[in-house]
Structure 1
C-alpha cells in the first residue's frame, strides 16, 4: 500500500482541493492482487481508497478503480466499500469504472447529525457524494442496506440511473413487513441482526479456501478495528432501518421511468428472504437472478460469481439492446472509446477522474476462476 497523503484522522488537513470544492484528506493506492503479489504490482489493477471532504465539510470514504461507464456500489449494513475489493477488480477488468462509497457511519464516512436515525438522510448524502464526484449517470448497485439506498436514489433521480442492481437488498414487501412488525417488537430485528452476524462470520472461507480467507481477512481488518473502537457507531444506521417506510413507491417509480432493475439474491439467505427480491422485481418490472446455495453475503465469500453473472447479463441479447439504447440516447456509438464515454458520463474535470489511479496499459485481465455458485434467471411474467 502506497501512502500519498497524511492519514491521521485527528488532523483532518486536506492534502489537495479537487474540482467542485472537494478536499482530499488522505489516499492510499491498493493493488488488487492479494497478499504476496506486490512484487508484481504493475501487472494488476489498482484501487485508490480516499477520504474526502464534501463542500459542506462532511467527510466520506470512497474507493475508485478503472475507466469507462461508472458502476456505483454501496455496501451492506456494518460493512464498507473496500470489503468488496476483490469483486470490484473483476468488474474493472470487464471495462467499467467502479466507485464504492462508504455510507454514513461506515468505513471512512462520518455519521449523520442527530444520530442518523432518518434513512432518507443517508440517501441524500449518497446523492451529494455522486453529485460532487461529478458522476452524471451510472449503474447503481447495492448490497443489503446499500440496495435500499441506491433504489431510493434512482427513484428520486431516474434520469441519473442506467439501471439498478439489487444484491440481497432490503427492498421489497416481505422485508417491509419485517420492519413494520419490528417496530412493535424490536427483538425481531435484533434477531435478524444476530443472524446477519453469524452469516458474516461464515463468509470467511477458512476451511474451503485458506488463501481466500487470508485475502478477505486483510480487507476486513480495518472495518473490524473500527467496530471494536466504536461499537455504537452503527446504532444510527440500524435505527434508521427500523424506522424506514415502505419501499414500494421507489420500485413503482423505477417501473414508471423505465429504469431496468435486476435483483440478484441467494436462495439460502435467512437474513433477507428470497421472496423479497421476487417482490421487488415484480413491482419494478425487473428480473431475478437466484444464486443457488447463496447466503446473505455470498458475494463476499466468492469474488467470481457476481462478475460472472454481470458478464452474462451484459452480453445477453437483452443486455446488448439495453446498452445500444442507452448509448444512442446519449449520442454515443457502440464502439465509442473511453475518452468519448467519459465525456458523457462525467462532468468536465470531474473529481472522480482525478481520484482514479493510473492503471497498467493495456489493463491486464484478472485471472478468472470458476464461480463457486451457480445461478438461474427468472424473467418477469
Structure 2
C-alpha cells in the first residue's frame, strides 16, 4: 500500500455568504411507526449527515449551515433514541436496526444518491448505510469515526472485558467537557451552548436511553466488508480525523482509508470533537476536497445521469439525485444557491494534511507521510499569528 502526501491548502476555507438558508427541524412519521427528526436546509447536492453518540444533528448546526452555503442540501438525521427520534421499539441493541431507521428516512424523503458523512458513531452508521447501496453513494466521509480494524479489534477486547467500557465513557465525558473551553470565539461559544443545553437536559432526565446504542456499538461486527464494498464500487472514502483524539485513535482513520483505498485528512491538534470547537474547519476541508476527489465523484454521478457538471442547475441536480416528487424537496423550498468551490476565504482554526493510499507501501512510508505540515507553510499563508497558533 503506497501512501502519497497530497498538496493541501491547510487552512484555506470556503466563502461565507452574508445570508444563507438555516437548518430547520422536521418530524417524520415513518411507515415502521418510528418518529424521526431531521434537520434540513439548502439546495443542491444531497449531504446526509449522522451525528455522534449522545448527540443530535442540530448540535452541528454552525458547521452544517456553512456547508449549506457551499451548495449542499444538508439532511442531518437523528438516529434512534437520539434528538427528537423515538427509541427503536424492538431491536435497539442491534446496530443494523439503527441503519434500518436511517435508510427508511432516506427512502421516505426520496433521496436517491448522496454524499454520506458522520461523526464518531455517525461515521460508522453512514458507512454502513452507504454499503447497503454502494451505487447510490457519491462519497463517504467518516469524521473521527469508529470505523476500521483498530476500533473493531478494541470492541472485541471490550466484549471480553466489559470493565473497559466505563473507561471509554469517562474519556468521552472528558472530551465533551473540553468543547466549550476550546471555542475561542465567544459568539460561537454562546451559540454552541444554546444548542447543547437542551441535549444535556434530556440526558440528565433519561441517561438509561443511551444504553441501547452503546450496546449496539459493542456488539456490532467488523467494518472491513463495508470498506471493501466501497473500494469495489469505486466510492471515495475520505476519513477526517484529529491527531490528538484520545477516544478514537488516529489509527482507526488510517485503517479506514487504507482498506477502502481512499484518503485520510489529519486535523492537526484536533481532539475527538474538534468540529464542534471550530465550525470553520470542516467546511474548509470540504472546499479543498471539492477541488479533488469529492468533485471528481460528484462529476461522475452527474454524468451518469446525462447532466453536464459545468452547466448543471440546482433543479437539474435535484432531479438527478432525488426521486420524482421527493418529500425532501418540499422541506427545502426554493432559495439562494451557491457554488460548490467558492473562492472567498475565512481562516479556520485548525490546519490539516491529506494522504492518499495506493497499493505497495511500507510501514516506514506511512509514518513518514503522517508528519504534520511544517508551521512555516502556515506562516507563509497567514503570517505570525497563524504560526503561533499552530505551534
Instruction: Report the RMSD for the aligned CA atoms in angstroms.
Output: 1.9
Q: Of residues 285, 302, 305 in structure 2, which corresponds to 1:327?
A: 302
CA distance in 1, matches of 2:91, 2:212: 5
Could you tell me how far apart the structure 2 residues matched to 1:184 and 1:320 are? 43
Contact 1:304 1:368 in 2 (8 A): no
Indicate the SS of the match to 1:380. Answer: strand
Runs of 5+ unmatched residues, structure 2: 1-17, 359-391
Structure 2 partner of 1:274:
250
Question: Structure 2 matches for 1:1-381, cutoff 5 A?
Answer: 43-114=19-90, 116-205=92-181, 208-316=184-292, 318-334=293-309, 335-357=311-333, 359=335, 369-381=346-358
Query: Matches of 1:174 and 1:361 in 2, distance apart?
Result: 40
- The alignment partner of 1:108 has SS state of coil
When residues 319 and 142 of structure 1 are mapped into structure 2, their CA distance, relative to the original with a 3 A threshold, is closer
Question: Does the 8 A contact of 2:183 with 2:278 survive in 1?
Answer: no
Pairwise CA distance, 1:256: 1.0
Aligned length: 338
Distance in 2, matches of 1:239 and 1:164, equals 24
CA contact (8 A) 1:179 1:189 kept: no
CA distance in 2, matches of 1:207, 1:149: 27
Deviations 1:297-349 (A, max 9, x none): 10111000000001001123x44433322211121111110111111111121
Aligned partners of 1:64 and 1:100 also within 8 Å: yes
Does structure 2 retain, via aligned residues, the 8 Å contact 1:142–1:166? yes
Q: Give the drift of 1:153.
A: 1.2
- Alpha-carbon spacing, 1:205–1:325, altered in 2? closer, same or farther (3 Å): same
| Partner Cα separation in structure 2 for residue 349 and residue 205 of structure 1 | 45
Distance 1:286 1:232, change over 3 A: same
Quick one: higher RCO (CA 8 Å, sep 6+), 1 or 2?
2
Q: Is the Cα contact below 8 Å between 2:113 and 2:136 reproduced in 1? A: yes
Q: Report the TM-score when normalising by structure 1.
A: 0.85
Cα distance per residue 1:38-94 (max 9 Å; x no partner): xxxx94422211121112221001000000010000000000000010101111111
**Is residue 179–residue 276 contact of structure 2 (8 Å, CA) maintained in 1?**
yes
SS of equivalent to 1:268: coil
Instruction: Tell me: CA distance 1:282–1:68, structure 2 relative to 1, closer, same or farther (3 Å).
Output: same
Task: Compute the displacement of 1:115 (Å).
Answer: 6.1
Q: Is the 8 A contact 2:38 2:57 kept in 1?
A: yes
Unaligned segments of structure 1, at least 5 residues: 1-41
